[in-house]
Structure 1
């Protein structure tokens, strides 16, 4: 006996639902092999399922396209902050600025190391601290640090923040659509299973071969086990076949 195989990809799920829905539009309700209740469910669910997949792909494509630009801007923001701290430290070493200046930026007075900007969180935290510290120092009459100036550093840091927020929003959307897609797959599988059970029940009194052909018209997919296909093909064609492969094809 061939065994029925439910769809295991979204493309196969959509094909199964579209095939069943197509039969529902072609055949009068009283002659249809599955219930009117499931026709309504298909009409409501299928467009939502396809739309969610489209939105997820759209979000992922946008995220992918923006990623290169995002990481370039992140690198520039990190670079300018690093250079600013180094210039400040060199001025301290030359005696042009006091060690206490480091306190404005949230740094230890006796620490001449550049803070770690490796993570986005660190970059954001230190970026705010350094920019706000320099602006506060200048308001008190301090001599501006240049090459780079804090104004240039701020331009790149704000570009990074803007892109970071956009990147997070797109990533969140893609994640939400993906999670929703998982939930909808369960719903799709339940709907397809219910329809296929109804279709098989409708044709249960037909001879096996005819029943299978009629069910396949509604999108059901059957596979033969090893040996079954060989036996059938020997009877029909007098030839041998391989192992567990499709024998009949589903009508779209």
Structure 2
């Protein structure tokens, strides 16, 4: 026996509301299979919910696209920061700089390894250390390091920071949109339940497929269980 399945996705909720609303527009109030007040409730909530879902989906898609751009900027900035530290160590190995210079960058004198830069937070931390350290060293009259220069490292790092901050803002916007949609779902689900209950009650004089067909015209969804098959016509 087919069973009624209430919507469990936002798109299914919108379809259910629109189907019931369409029937309300086509029929006179006394012919409508559910209470007229619920028709007015649908007219009120549907545009709000549809707009909220649309804004959430748009924000989510934009965040995902920007996330890819952020990933590219992260990889590029990480390479430049990493290469700068490597060149710094080469200069020390060649005795062009003293090991003590590492302290300008927040590194220990004997630390010959490149800091961990595998996460955004690590890159933010060490990128800032490298830039401020080199600028401080230059102010003291130090010899410039090239390939990459700190100017190029700074360009790549600041570009990454720009994308990082923008992505964070998009995440916050998406979260707010998600909370708005979530807060409306209970109201929408309760409204659909009342509408569908009213429709089925209206067609109680029918039975079997006739009742389900009549209700389906209003957007009610009936599903067969896994071990059941619809009757062939």
Bin the TM-score by the shorter chain. Answer: 0.7 to 0.9
Indicate yes or no: 2:188 matched with 1:208. Answer: no
Q: Counterparts in 2 of 1:41-80, with a 5 A limit? A: 41-80=41-80
CA 1:246 to 1:128, structure 2 compared with 1: closer, same or farther past 3 Å? Answer: farther
Question: Gaps spanning 5+ residues in structure 2: where?
Answer: none
Q: Which residue number corresponds to residue 14 of structure 1?
A: 14
1:11-45, Cα deviation, whole Å (9 max, x unpaired): 33222111111122222334433223322221122
- Worse-superposed segment, 156-165 or 12-21: 12-21
CA 1:221 to 1:77, structure 2 compared with 1: closer, same or farther past 3 Å? Answer: closer
| Equivalent pair of 1:223/1:244 in contact (CA under 8 Å) | no
| Equivalent pair of 1:223/1:246 in contact (CA under 8 Å) | no
Q: Which residue number corresponds to residue 139 of structure 2?
A: 139
Indicate yes or no: 2:173 matched with 1:193. Answer: no
Question: Gaps spanning 5+ residues in structure 1: where?
Answer: 227-241
For 2:79 and 2:56, locate their aligned partners in 1 and report how far apart those are by CA, in whole Å: 34
Equivalent residue pairs, number: 232
Q: Which residue number corresponds to residue 236 of structure 1?
A: none
For 1:191 and 1:115, locate their aligned partners in 2 and report how far apart those are by CA, in whole Å: 57
Q: Which residue number corresponds to residue 220 of structure 1?
A: 220
- Worse-superposed segment, 211-220 or 116-125: 211-220
C-alpha displacement of 1:219: 1.9
CA 1:72 to 1:29, structure 2 compared with 1: closer, same or farther past 3 Å? Answer: same
- Worse-superposed segment, 66-75 or 17-26: 66-75
* RMSD of aligned residue pairs (Cα, Å): 2.6
For 2:122 and 2:18, locate their aligned partners in 1 and report how far apart those are by CA, in whole Å: 50
- Worse-superposed segment, 135-144 or 108-117: 135-144
More contact order relative to length (CA 8 Å, sep ≥ 6): 2
C-alpha displacement of 1:151: 0.7
Equivalent position SS for 1:174: helix
Name segments (4+ residues, structure 1) moved above 6 Å: none
For 1:129 and 1:87, locate their aligned partners in 2 and report how far apart those are by CA, in whole Å: 15
Which of 243, 249, 252 is the equivalent residue of 2:228?
243
1:187-217, Cα deviation, whole Å (9 max, x unpaired): 322111011112223333x232554443333
